[in-house]
A and B are shown apart, each in its own frame.
Chain A
């Protein structure tokens, strides 16, 4: 389904009219705020829009229709795993017992959620082959920070304070080097080998007494399984460093490869990728982290514990001094985690394995459909995603990957991830996921093939795309040079507070 023909909306500030709205909250007594010292009081009410509920609802429903979403169409955004978000999970997260539970409720009042979290930790540990899992991190990037801070704590406890470097391949997600910097490390970027995989010699040349950790995405951001991973992990451990796995691409290897068994010391999970929690237009997610024996003492607090009598409880403040501490308030994004829990329960062991089988099969099938039209820089069996490139098309016609992506919008598809990984010229990273039918995959391949033909015959049709979206290409340069980051309401238009 394409996003077409819907009118753009005024902002809510333009929609508001003084005097509209109300009827939601009882009026407080007139003296309600008399206790508040004048110096601490707000003198001018915030100039928020005044709207009646029907206008609010229409505004946000109309705005929603300007969005492309998994629920409206195929969204092959590589590295993001835009699979179907099961509706049962939305229902479950809204059960009053889950939704209304206060995060500081006593353990005795939170047994249902604590049990769910405990079981989810166990399931993720089993899936990853890790010894234990923390559910605290709020997102994958925060999970990375958690992992790297644990590695730092480990080295501090083992006399490794001279270790100041984190090694990442040049194909990595930007979060890897950004995380290393946040944790006080220097990033050393390792070029990839010609086959797109780890360059073992290049890694060996940089590994040494200054190496704190390596961060590896496996399967890689090119969608390729790192076949030399065993040797690399040995080399990393030989120099006393630890190995971090970016679990962004776990969707490809469920039941096939357990990072903990292979020798990774720590990894994060993106539950919005592998375990179907909705992407929410950019969030929320959750970024559980699994660790092996080495890093167990450093897990963030609080952990979920089971008492001998079977009751569950949260770890208390200061109970485990070796912990790296808190990454955020409270236990974690529990409302997201309950969705992941439901997803894992719905699939079970056999279903999860099928998820990866079908995701990998779909990606390889789609790649084979495109191989005669687009460049396939790394032409070997991929995992759940693959890179295609428009290098040849650009040379012949001047049409770039960006143009092809925009033209896909006219065909009713969300474009793939483009120009990532950075090491591929004119790259598009395509991830079909396991929840798209063969009819959808074929239709998408037909669209990309048709666009390649358009690039030859009518290139301006492609370079001018999209033609059917609510807006055309945007002036991003002006937006960044002269930022307009907020609406400026017309002062004086609002009514005084009805005291």
Chain B
């Protein structure tokens, strides 16, 4: 065993103390009929060989592409300080701070996370974190049902499809979930249909617990959040804003437009994409809902000497104490990712965060102009921050041909939203501060070639994974 300390003599000594001759005797209580068949797994692999295997696997992934893919997960500069702090064993090899006297580091860092996020979202209560944006949004939906004692939640179709699917799964235990359609045409096309929302809220015999909408929404568009919130509140429902934290440096925070709950994905705050997680589920609420928010909370208090200190608090809401009456079954939190977000925010600072958001918006505008010039106009007319949908013919084939040229041309919307014919020709593309002018140029040039119908040359087709070769062939 690679990490075990026991020598043959150690084991013999321990067995001797127990009056046993073989460790097998300690498993005698497993009924013979139930004992395991042989474990059919490969032999142990020495670290050197395992490292080579892992390196080879990682190398099979293509992370060399010029990427314009966002759709809920964004490429941002994470200052190396973030990961170097995370690599300290005192952080990542500790567990839940059950013993506050020897966990003040983790506890204070969570309190600071709660405080930093409270500033960003403009709400007072921030949970110590959930699994990801989708799970946090599902918990937000459940919160609205508990708080209002109603059982019907409306979610805009412009909320990320994975979040809507997750809500559906979490609600399958007996709560109702309905989707608010989007405006089909005109200036507001692609955003939440307020008239439809009003009709759904007006069904008096089916009172609505919560209304969920995203800012920016899945298609990158800016939603009329204050108007959605007003309508929800007029019907006695709570309003849940699904947020993207970097955008909050420049966009109005949920607290400013009356949202009761904010939920969202914290990945953009310094966390690597790593094919889906671990991420950081942001969940925040007004003070009025503090009893309803699920998951850990850390508060400030004092010790016996009156010294300032931090501790997990309001614990009796949680599953280990309240069991079947708990607000949620969530056990722990994403503490290490909350730490990453805190270190990121502290390192990048308020002005840096604004620069990240504004530079992404600026690059996105350049991207829009370049792609429009190459023959791929936007689908929707409304304003966006740093992500938008474009129209291309044969989106699957176009996407694939661009991939052959080293370009990850965003997301094929027909895959993400197969039920929406208005998006059948769409690609969802984004830019961040990481997007460079040459990358935008290459994307536009490659798109022009693909749309021009010129088949890729053998050199291009064969050298897709090599940026240099692609650039060379374009020259």
Instruction: Assess A/B contact in the complex (Cβ within 8 A).
Output: yes
Segment among A39-47, A289-297, A392-400, A453-461 that sits at the interface with chain B: A39-47
A359 to chain B, nearest CB (A): 9
Whether the Cβ atoms of A174 and B322 lie closer than 8 Å is yes
Q: Is B455 an interface residue (CB 8 A)?
A: no
How distant is the Cα of A279 from the Cα of B1 in the complex, in angstroms? 21
Q: Is A235 an interface residue (CB 8 A)?
A: no
Residues of chain B in range 292-310 having any CB-CB distance to chain A below 8 Å: 296-305, 307-309
**Which residues on the B side are within 8 Å of A35 (C-beta)?**
361, 365, 383-384
- Which of A65, A332, A381 meets B105, CB within 8 Å? A65
Q: Is B97 an interface residue (CB 8 A)?
A: yes
**Which residues on the B side are within 8 Å of A95 (C-beta)?**
54-55, 58
Segment among B204-212, B328-336, B445-453 that sits at the interface with chain A: B328-336
**Which residues on the B side are within 8 Å of A473 (C-beta)?**
101, 303-304
How distant is the Cα of A383 from the Cα of B95 in the complex, in angstroms? 22
**Which residues on the B side are within 8 Å of A485 (C-beta)?**
111, 114, 124-126, 290, 297-299, 313
Residues of chain B in range 355-378 having any CB-CB distance to chain A below 8 Å: 355-356, 358-359, 361-362, 365
Q: Is A347 an interface residue (CB 8 A)?
A: yes
**Which residues on the B side are within 8 Å of A93 (C-beta)?**
274
Residues of chain A in range 219-239 having any CB-CB distance to chain B below 8 Å: 224-225, 227, 229-230
B324 to chain A, nearest CB (A): 4
Whether the Cβ atoms of B92 and A280 lie closer than 8 Å is yes
How distant is the Cα of A185 from the Cα of B344 in the complex, in angstroms? 41
How distant is the Cα of A470 from the Cα of B104 in the complex, in angstroms? 8
| Binary A-proximity of B57-73 (CB < 8 A = 1, otherwise 0) | 11111110101010111
Whether the Cβ atoms of B331 and A141 lie closer than 8 Å is yes
Whether the Cβ atoms of B119 and A348 lie closer than 8 Å is no
Whether the Cβ atoms of A438 and B62 lie closer than 8 Å is no
Q: Is B18 an interface residue (CB 8 A)?
A: yes
**Which residues on the B side are within 8 Å of A85 (C-beta)?**
89, 92-93
- Which of B45, B55, B302, B385 meets A474, CB within 8 Å? B302
Which interface class (under 10, 10 to 19, 20 to 34, 35 or more) fits B?
35 or more
Q: Is B172 an interface residue (CB 8 A)?
A: yes
Whether the Cβ atoms of A227 and B352 lie closer than 8 Å is no
**Which residues on the B side are within 8 Å of A492 (C-beta)?**
none
A88 to chain B, nearest CB (A): 6
Whether the Cβ atoms of B135 and A327 lie closer than 8 Å is yes
**Which residues on the A side are within 8 Å of B124 (C-beta)?**
485-486
How distant is the Cα of A471 from the Cα of B169 in the complex, in angstroms? 43
Question: Could you list 20 examples of A-B contacts with CB < 8 Å?
Answer: A11-B115, A41-B251, A46-B119, A65-B90, A82-B93, A98-B58, A99-B274, A100-B272, A141-B329, A175-B319, A177-B324, A257-B36, A283-B333, A328-B134, A328-B166, A348-B44, A475-B304, A480-B316, A486-B124, A497-B354
Whether the Cβ atoms of B15 and A28 lie closer than 8 Å is no
How distant is the Cα of A362 from the Cα of B4 in the complex, in angstroms? 11
Q: Is B140 an interface residue (CB 8 A)?
A: no
- Which of B18, B95, B162 meets A282, CB within 8 Å? B95
Whether the Cβ atoms of B63 and A97 lie closer than 8 Å is yes
Segment among B27-35, B195-203, B229-237 that sits at the interface with chain A: B27-35
Whether the Cβ atoms of B3 and A435 lie closer than 8 Å is yes
**Which residues on the A side are within 8 Å of B274 (C-beta)?**
93, 98-101, 334-335
Whether the Cβ atoms of A498 and B351 lie closer than 8 Å is yes
**Which residues on the B side are within 8 Å of A57 (C-beta)?**
81, 84-85
Lowest 9 CB-CB distances: which A-B pairs, in order? A71-B89, A97-B58, A112-B60, A330-B276, A184-B173, A284-B278, A280-B336, A282-B335, A138-B131
A76 to chain B, nearest CB (A): 12
Known: A70-B94, A254-B39, A281-B91. A350 touches B324 (CB 8 A): no
Whether the Cβ atoms of B272 and A178 lie closer than 8 Å is no
Whether the Cβ atoms of A349 and B39 lie closer than 8 Å is yes
Q: Is A247 an interface residue (CB 8 A)?
A: no
Whether the Cβ atoms of B299 and A479 lie closer than 8 Å is yes
B433 to chain A, nearest CB (A): 6
Told that A64-B85, A471-B303 touch, could you supply 5 new A-B pairs with CB distance under 8 A?
A173-B331, A326-B169, A414-B99, A474-B301, A484-B301
Q: Is A169 an interface residue (CB 8 A)?
A: no
